[in-house]
Amino acid sequence: MRHSKFMMCMLALAASLVTLLTQETVAYYTVSGAATNVITSGDIKMEIIEKMGDQDFPEEGVYVMPGSTIAKKVTVANIGNHSFWLRVKLENGIDDDSLSADLFELDLNLDDWIAGNDGFYYYNKPVQPGAVTEKLFTQVKIAGSMDTSYLDKTLTLTVKAYAVQSENNPATSPMNVLGWPTES
């Protein structure tokens, strides 16, 4: 019996050694690694172009009188590498909250632009890289209802443009584009 206990201990020791050696061998042949996948989304770049005739529209603005018509052409250029859908919002303003800012009459181009119910004008096709849109409008007329309370006030017409990459966007019209950015 004593001999039998000794044999059992030796057998257990041998089994333990075999198990340990086998695990090291398995560990030796195990390979692990990591991979980093970089996914870059396309970027879109645009430029709002405002011209007065053939010149850039003056940053300081222009002096106006009631009934004046100012040549102002607004287009948007795609200066990036990807095509995009485009929408533009026009915001009127005045530096005196007691006066109306709705004094502009625009000759909107509704052949190439779609007037949305949300205050935006949507360009009716994607703007390709290097392309420039058709003009949204070409002139601004100051309403004749402007009186002396508008003297020395500043009227503004702000053009805000928003774009969404058209590649891989299932939209067939600017009105059903997915992913329009929120207004800022």
Q: Reduced to 3 DSSP states, what percent helix, strand and coil does the chain have, rounded to the nearest 5?
A: 20, 35, 50
Q: Which stretches within the chain are classed as H helix? A: 2-29
Mean pLDDT of the chain: 82
Identify the weakest region by mean pLDDT among 6-10, 48-52, 108-112: 6-10
Beta strands (DSSP E) in 22-103 are 46-52, 55-56, 69-78, 84-94
pLDDT at 12: 66
pLDDT at 61: 80
- 142: Cβ–Cβ under 8 A, 6 or more apart, which residues? 64, 65, 66, 67, 68, 69, 70, 103, 104, 105, 155
**Which pLDDT tens digit goes with each residue over 81-93?**
999 999 999 998 8
Q: What is the pTM for the complete model shown?
A: 0.75
pLDDT at 11: 66
**Which pLDDT tens digit goes with each residue over 113-137?**
999 999 999 999 999 999 999 999 9
Among 1-5, 88-92, 119-123, 180-184, the range of highest mean pLDDT: 119-123
Contact predicate 161/83, CB 8 Å: no
CA Rg value for the chain: 35
Contact predicate 99/153, CB 8 Å: yes
* Arithmetic mean of pLDDT, 133-152: 87
